[in-house]
Amino acid sequence: MAKASEGETRASRRDFAVITATYWAFTLTDGALRMLVLLHLHELGLRPLELASLFLLYEAFGVVTNLCGGWIGARFGLKSTLTSGLGLQVVALALLCGPASWLSVPLVMSAQALSGIAKDLTKMSAKSYIKLLVPAQDTGGLLRWVALLTGSKNSLKGVGFFLGGAGLSAFGFRRTCAVMLIGIAVALVAATLVLPSAPGKAQRKLDLKALLSKDARLNRLSAARLFLFGARDVWFVVALPVFLSEELGWEHGAVGAFLALWVIGYGVVQASTPKLVARRGAPDGRALGRWTATLVVPLAALIVALHLGWPEGTSLVVGLGLFGALFAVNSAIHSYLVVHFSEQDRVAADVGFYYMANASGRLVGTLLSGVVFGALLGRAGLEACLAVSIAFVLLSAALCVPLARAERAH
């Protein structure tokens, strides 16, 4: 019996390693493709609101995908959602590998929509699988695994940002997309051949009502996540890269490198979160509220620095560096809590519901990033985006109060 149990553990770890590796491969292409599309089409003359529209379907489809994908994973197993996500990314990249005359806004929006679906299917699959690997009572182990997966993913996404900017400068749009397509196709084949068919499949049949969570903790955590990621993307998606390019005159490679380093550092801090927050045990809703409130400090300081005319490049590097470190801790705590709160038998559905709220926040933030920055442009536009970010942070922190109450009542 012990030998069987040991064999099952080895198989689970092997499966998790494969899922993590494919998720990492996908993350590289996801970050690179976002930067590649943004910089290339900005170079062709698209305005901020038009650039934001390219990512709206990416985020909008993420809302539906997380909700339905979690249910599909619970019904048919996580392999089905993971391989579907990788396959859709192959199709999205193939659409962008055609002649330059194909690159109309509707085509790029369609490719981004497919990539958004692909991203959320792979993310939901990878994070749900952790719940199946770590014993339910090992909250410290769960925090470490979640932080490691989330942190490494974001570091690789930062590398993807850099590769997207560098690839555009060195090889051009089509060739860079073609190389990424080959890499994802290899990951798809590996996942198809190695993974068993049913990890994460619920023991009981889940009807469509299972799409919505009935757990008050998950509902409140999801609402806080919506505003947290809206607070980031309202300046990060469009306003920041366009400001760096147009106002500060940074080259594409420099913009990609800066955003890459920011996201890589963000991922490193995420992976280190257990050492920062677990001295008194695993974090809870109250701890999350305190950490969320700290995000106001760098955002307010950056607005003041820009308004007073301090060196813009230095102010952005320092202010956004501090924001990124604090945001990384918040994101890691969020990712731990959703897996911790999820039921073992419906983890894919619970995680999918939560990341539906995450995608909703990104959708709102992306839209506001184009609208607010496009209305004012320049330094005033970036300051306005940062002000909206502060409002969203405060809303996210406020939602942690009922979250803490729900935890105590559970």
Q: How many CA atoms lie within 13 A of 379 on its CB side?
A: 15
Written as six digits, the tokens of 197 are 């068919």
- pLDDT confidence tier of residue 379, bands split at 50, 70 and 90: confident
Which pLDDT tens digit goes with each residue over 159-185? 887 788 788 878 888 888 999 999 999
Residue 234 has a pLDDT of 94
| The pLDDT of residue 266 is above 50 | yes
Burial 202-220 (b: 16+ CB within 10 A, else e): beeebeeebbebebbbbbb
Which pLDDT tens digit goes with each residue over 63-112? 888 777 777 777 777 788 888 989 999 999 999 887 777 777 778 778 87
Written as six digits, the tokens of 400 are 């942690």
Residue 125 has a pLDDT of 80
Which pLDDT tens digit goes with each residue over 344-356? 767 777 888 888 8
Fold of 2-193+210-409: Growth Hormone; Chain: A; (1.20.1250)
User: Which of 3-12, 140-149, 279-288 shows the lowest mean pLDDT across its residues?
Assistant: 3-12
| The pLDDT of residue 211 is above 70 | no
Residues in Cβ contact with 394 at an 8 Å cutoff, skipping those fewer than 6 apart: 293, 296
- pLDDT confidence tier of residue 322, bands split at 50, 70 and 90: very high
Q: Where are the domains of the chain?
A: 2-193+210-409
Residue 319 has a pLDDT of 92
